């Protein structure tokens, strides 16, 4: 199994999941310049990470990869438990992370792709930073009195953690969200998370 990623990007979610699974894999960092050219573009038509190569079977799109890893390794319980309710709850939060939170960061990190003028880019990013706070508030409320988004730890927790790292880097206002902060520290304390950070040359924040 090979995982293609950019340090600290959404591919860190899959890196954490692979560490939870605990089977051998190779982490292959892709350079920014390498994203949009061969050989990586042949694997990932959008020139985006994550991508995996499992013995010649290549796959992109984070949700599909996480589902693939979970189905291939059911003992790892990557979707928060065995019950339908636990797995559905994990998928719900995975959806929020991938479709709502992550897409909000596309307007922060990728404002220059969407708006020609610098003033427009700044306005778009500022609006998205405010929107991100509203989305984290939903997760913070849900996490009151619970350790994980679903019954047990799941890939949704890894995704929330990775985007919370981005929130801290982009100064998203997370004040008054103690449950989200505790969740972030819980993830930071996980040896699989620390191993993924170290392998990507990152430090805890």
Ligand X SMILES: N[C@@H](CCC(=O)N[C@@H](CS)C(=O)NCC(=O)O)C(=O)O
Interface segment toward ligand X; rule CB under 6 A; list 21-29, 47-55, 86-94, 118-126 = 47-55
- Which of 49, 86, 107, 167 is in the footprint of ligand X by CB under 6 A? 49
- Residue 13 binds to ligand X (criterion: CB under 6 A): no
- Tell me, what DSSP letter sits at residue 144? T
- Residue 61 binds to ligand X (criterion: CB under 6 A): yes
Interface segment toward ligand X; rule CB under 6 A; list 45-53, 133-141, 153-161, 177-185 = 45-53
- Which of 3, 4, 9, 111 is in the footprint of ligand X by CB under 6 A? 9
Q: Which is nearer to ligand X, 48 or 196 (CB)?
A: 48
Q: Which is nearer to ligand X, 19 or 62 (CB)?
A: 62
- Which of 47, 81, 127, 152 is in the footprint of ligand X by CB under 6 A? 47
The dihedral built from the CA positions of residue 39, 44, 46 and 51, taken in this order, carries a sign that is negative
Q: What is the 3-state secondary structure (H, E, C) of 93-114?
A: HHHHHHHHHHHHHHHHHCHHHH
Q: How many angstroms separate the CA atoms of 163 and 159, rounded? A: 6
Count of CA atoms in the C-beta half-sphere (13 A) of 99: 7
Interface segment toward ligand X; rule CB under 6 A; list 4-12, 17-25, 75-83, 146-154 = 4-12
Q: Which is nearer to ligand X, 50 or 80 (CB)?
A: 50
Q: Which is nearer to ligand X, 29 or 47 (CB)?
A: 47
8 Å CB contact between 159 and 96: no
Q: How many angstroms separate the CA atoms of 39 and 3, rounded? A: 14
Q: How many angstroms separate the CA atoms of 68 and 66, rounded? A: 5
In sequence order, which residues have a C-beta less than 8 Å from that of residue 189 and are 6 or more positions away? none
- Residue 98 binds to ligand X (criterion: CB under 6 A): yes
- Residue 35 binds to ligand X (criterion: CB under 6 A): yes
Residues in contact with ligand X by the rule CB under 6 A: 6, 9-10, 35, 47-50, 61-62, 98
């Amino acid at each position: 199994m090979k995982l293609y990623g950019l340090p600290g990007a959404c591919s860190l979610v899959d890196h954490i999941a692979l560490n939870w699974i605990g089977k051998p894999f190779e982490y292959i960092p892709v350079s920014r310049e390498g994203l949009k050219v061969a050989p990586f573009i042949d694997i990932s038509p959008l020139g985006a990470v994550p991508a995996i190569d499992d013995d010649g079977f290549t796959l992109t799109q984070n949700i599909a990869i996480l589902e693939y890893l979970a189905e291939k390794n059911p003992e790892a319980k990557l979707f928060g438990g065995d019950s339908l309710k636990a797995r559905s709850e994990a998928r719900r939060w995975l959806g929020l992370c991938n479709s709502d939170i992550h897409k909000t960061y596309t307007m922060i990190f990728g404002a220059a792709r969407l708006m020609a003028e610098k003033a427009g880019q700044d306005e778009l990013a500022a609006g998205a930073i405010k929107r991100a706070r509203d989305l984290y508030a939903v997760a913070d409320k849900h996490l009151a009195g619970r350790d994980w988004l679903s019954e047990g730890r799941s890939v949704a927790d890894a995704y929330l953690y990775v985007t919370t790292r981005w929130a801290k880097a982009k100064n998203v206002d997370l004040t008054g969200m103690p449950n989200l902060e505790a969740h972030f520290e819980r993830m930071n304390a996980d040896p699989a998370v620390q191993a993924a950070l170290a392998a990507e040359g990152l430090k805890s924040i």
